[in-house]
Amino acid sequence: MSASHHLSWLEASVVGLTQGVSELFPVSSLGHSVLIPAAIGGSWARDLNVSAKESPYLAFIVGLHVATAAALLLFFWRDWVRIVGGLITSIRHRRIRTADERLAWLLILATIPVGIAGLVLEHAFRTVLAKPNPTALFLMLNGLILFAAERFRRRTQPPDPAAPPHQDGGQHRDGAAAVAEDVRVDTRLARLPIRRAVLIGSAQIAALAPGISRSGITMATGLSRGLDHDDAARFSFLLATPVILAAGVLKLPDLSGPLGNGIRGQVVLGSVLSFIGAYLSVRFLSRYFRTNSLRPFGWYCLAAGAVALVLVNR
């Protein structure tokens, strides 16, 4: 069977858009990439199998990460210019003095554990766990984690009625007020203790299990370690960018080889839709988490996981 039979234009469109959206929402993009084909059944379940050996579908969905990372880089480009500039300054002058310098090193240190774990464990996690039933159960577990994080935060950090509200910089990110608010948030994040930042970053290892959301688990860990929703979401998005980009870049050679034969057009289409979905998602979520919680996503994960269990075992 030729590689072109593994990915139709409709499949590429649905998976590409879904991946771009669900990568940043706390609902697990890999979980959806496993469960949607299994729930539809037929050729979708047969062709779109992440756990299959030498799966062109896996190369496709991981390759989409490049588009997702590009959307994050575009949305946060001013922030990454500051952070990378801080890293360069820190290395040049052998110092860690400014907030940007410290935040750059915190992001590097917090990314190392998941980078190592991904290289060592990704294959084992995918082949053993990337099947519909375990994925649906992990998605439901992801929902429970989101609820637990909200409950823990409410018990340990009751809201302060005297605290000033966050400025809404998400809607008009070109404004000076939005840029100033981003700098204030990054300054707060730069004050995180190294151990706490590494713990939050290390939580991404759990997202190797399909159904566990990378952004969800990092936000939940951040909330449990004293961050508010806005800061936890921003730190999660900053942490995700290098991890998502690296995962996609590592899979690009697969798509340029035999696994990509006959599906490169579909890869381009899926990537464009993934980019659009990711950009709109991070734009929405950057506003949403200024005043809202993880609970709606917890309910979604519980419901989606339960429905998926019924559909894949019908």
Summarised one tens digit per residue, pLDDT across range 105-132 is 999 999 999 999 988 887 788 778 889 9
145 vs 125, which has greater pLDDT? Answer: 145
Average pLDDT over residues 301-307: 97
CA distance 108 to 197: 10
Percent of the chain at pLDDT > 70 equals 91
Determine which of 41-45, 85-89, 141-145, 198-202 has the lowest per-residue pLDDT on average: 41-45
Say what the pLDDT of residue 158 is: 52
pLDDT at 72 over 80: yes
Say what the pLDDT of residue 1 is: 36
pLDDT at 174 over 90: no
Average pLDDT over residues 29-40: 93
For the record, the structure tokens of 208 come out as 């190797």
Determine which of 44-58, 106-120, 196-210, 283-297 has the lowest per-residue pLDDT on average: 44-58
- Indicate the pLDDT class of residue 140, thresholds 50, 70 and 90: very high
Say what the pLDDT of residue 162 is: 39
DSSP state of 4: G
Say what the pLDDT of residue 172 is: 44
Question: Is the distance from CB of 278 to CB of 23 less than 8 angstroms?
Answer: yes
Angle (deg, nearest 10), helices 99-129 and 229-256? 60
**Element containing residue 172 per DSSP (H, E):** none
Residue type, 181: E
> Would the pTM count as exceeding 0.85?
yes
Strand, helix or coil for residue 177: helix
Percent of the chain at pLDDT > 90 equals 65
CA distance 33 to 297: 17
Average pLDDT over residues 53-61: 79
263 vs 294, which has greater pLDDT? Answer: 294
Contacts of 145 by beta carbon, 8 Å cutoff, 6+ apart: 212, 216, 217, 220, 298
Average pLDDT over residues 130-153: 94
Question: Is the distance from CB of 26 to CB of 232 less than 8 angstroms?
Answer: no
Residue 280: other Cβ atoms inside 10 A: 15
Nearest of 185, 239, 190 to residue 213 by alpha carbon:
239
257 vs 79, which has greater pLDDT? Answer: 79
Say what the pLDDT of residue 252 is: 80
Q: What angle do CA 275, 279, 282 make, to 5 degrees?
A: 135
| Mean pLDDT over the full length of the chain | 88
